[in-house]
């Protein structure tokens, strides 16, 4: 499974990229707004930090402007994945951009039918939002299972399932069990994966025993 980090905070991205665990980055207008910086500047900097796909979202809703915005974003760096909403105009833009060789991430997916449309439009990634479905008392992970099963039925579908709106480590684990290719995680959730009380207790015991020996590896 590929790990993308879901943020526009370049310091966070740089820190996590140094672990070797980050395969890509997803951003959206809300995340960039929180940074307080110019959108294009943020996206360009992220592309220099991570070699993998960097999702940058269009803000227009009509086809002509969406396409122009997508083309401008794609020209920023070869690893840009233009992010478009799952609307009729978004899918039309997806088709045009993907036919031109641009990676496209179709976002705001909430049903298997929408995911089928995105695959047929040539999307590189489909982004189902599991957390937002959970928020309205719907099983977001059931959507991931449905999409993974449907995509596996058709060799012509090359779209990767990019699980988005992840709220906790269990969302990630369940998505991995289902065979989703990508998960995009807030930095806080990615760091939660490190933590386990038995790991921490075991390390504390090892260090206590080592301290009792009075030795130092570096002094030997």
What's the CA angle centered on 57, arms 89 and 110, to 5 degrees?
65
| The two three-digit tokens of residue 99, written as one number | 């036919």
* Distance separating alpha carbons of residues 82 and 69, to the nearest angstrom: 9
Q: Assess contact for 10 and 46: CB atoms under 8 A.
A: yes
Q: Name 159's Cβ contacts closer than 8 Å, sequence gap at least 6.
A: 115, 118, 119, 122, 123, 124, 125, 126, 151
Give the number of other CB atoms < 10 A from CB of residue 63.
16
Q: Respond yes or no: is residue 83 known to be catalytic.
A: yes
34, 68, 83, 92: the active-site residue: 83
Nearest alpha-carbon partner for 112 in 100, 101, 124, 120: 120
* Distance separating alpha carbons of residues 92 and 96, to the nearest angstrom: 6
| The two three-digit tokens of residue 160, written as one number | 């990767």
| The two three-digit tokens of residue 173, written as one number | 């684990």
The set of catalytic residues is 83
């Amino acid at each position: 499974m590929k790990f993308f980090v879901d943020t526009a905070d370049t310091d966070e991205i740089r820190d996590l990229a140094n672990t070797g665990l980050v395969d890509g980055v997803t951003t959206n207008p809300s995340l960039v707004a929180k940074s307080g910086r110019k959108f294009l500047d943020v996206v360009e900097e992220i592309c220099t930090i991570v070699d993998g796909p960097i999702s940058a979202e269009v803000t227009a809703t009509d086809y002509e402007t969406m396409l122009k915005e997508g083309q401008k974003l794609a020209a920023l760096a070869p690893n840009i994945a233009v992010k478009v909403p799952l609307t009729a105009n978004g899918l039309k833009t997806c088709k045009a951009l993907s036919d031109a060789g641009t990676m496209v991430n179709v976002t705001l997916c909430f049903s298997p039918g929408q995911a089928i449309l995105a695959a047929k439009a040539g999307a590189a990634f489909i982004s189902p939002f599991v957390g937002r479905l959970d928020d309205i008392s719907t099983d977001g992970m059931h959507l991931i299972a449905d999409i993974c099963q449907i995509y596996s039925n058709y060799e012509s579908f090359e779209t990767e399932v990019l699980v988005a709106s992840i709220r906790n480590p269990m969302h990630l684990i369940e998505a991995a069990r289902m065979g989703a290719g990508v998960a995009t995680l807030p930095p806080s959730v990615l760091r939660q994966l490190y933590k386990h009380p038995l790991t921490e207790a075991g390390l504390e015991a090892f260090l206590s025993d080592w301290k009792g020996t009075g030795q130092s590896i570096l002094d030997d």
